[in-house]
Amino acid sequence: MDVTSPVSGPWLVVGLGNPGSEYAMNRHNVGFMVADLLAERIGGRFKRAGKAQAQVVEGRIGPPGPANRRVILAKPMSYMNLSGGPVNALRDFYKVPLANVVAVHDELDIDYGILRLKLGGGDNGHNGLKSMTKAMGAEYHRVRFGIGRPPGRMQVADFVLKDFSSTERKELDYFVDRAADAVECLVIEGLERAQSTYNS
């Protein structure tokens, strides 16, 4: 099987972040921002997902026909470092193949606003990915949203839990929109096409 091509079954797109209004505009919450935009695009509203500690929206993306995909958008409500449990519970409930799971997350080692898409790999110190990989293995897709490194001697934990700067916010909507486009391309057309279009 070509792992870069879409496989059968529904897709689970997970925006990683921390629940609570105090975290809403943090750099660490860009995954939630992308998930919110995708939900808006399919005309859905997040609601609590049964026993899973997450909020979900179910819908479809893509043109009518064979490229139309069933998608579950999810935001774990467990805090970042415990994301794996809720995500794996949703994967089991909706019978989603691991290769059809997409994590959207902030990435320190990429400049602000730059996207990188990949399948599998390490967690690069990201606690959300670390928890997901521990719960279900590493062979899921990642849409990595660059936030850059902390300035000066600022600690990484402080940096990711701070809001985007006023300068960054001027372009944030554009970059979130582009990340949502990249997720849609990945789900509809496969990893290779999404990488060639959005990896910059």
Active centre residues (catalytic): 28
The answer to whether 39 and 48 are in contact (CB under 8 A) is no
Total residue count of the chain as it appears in this document: 200
Residue 144 has phi, psi (to 5 degrees) of: -95, 120
SS (H, E, C) the chain: CCCCCCCCCCEEEEECCCCCHHHCCEHHHHHHHHHHHHHHHCCCCCEECCCCCEEEEEEEECCCCCCCEEEEEEEECCCHHHCHHHHHHHHHHHCCCHHHEEEEEEECCCCCCCEEEEECCCCCCCHHHHHHHHHHCCCCEEEEEECCCCCCCCCHHHHHCCECCHHHHHHHHHHHHHHHHHHHHHHHHCHHHHHHHHCC
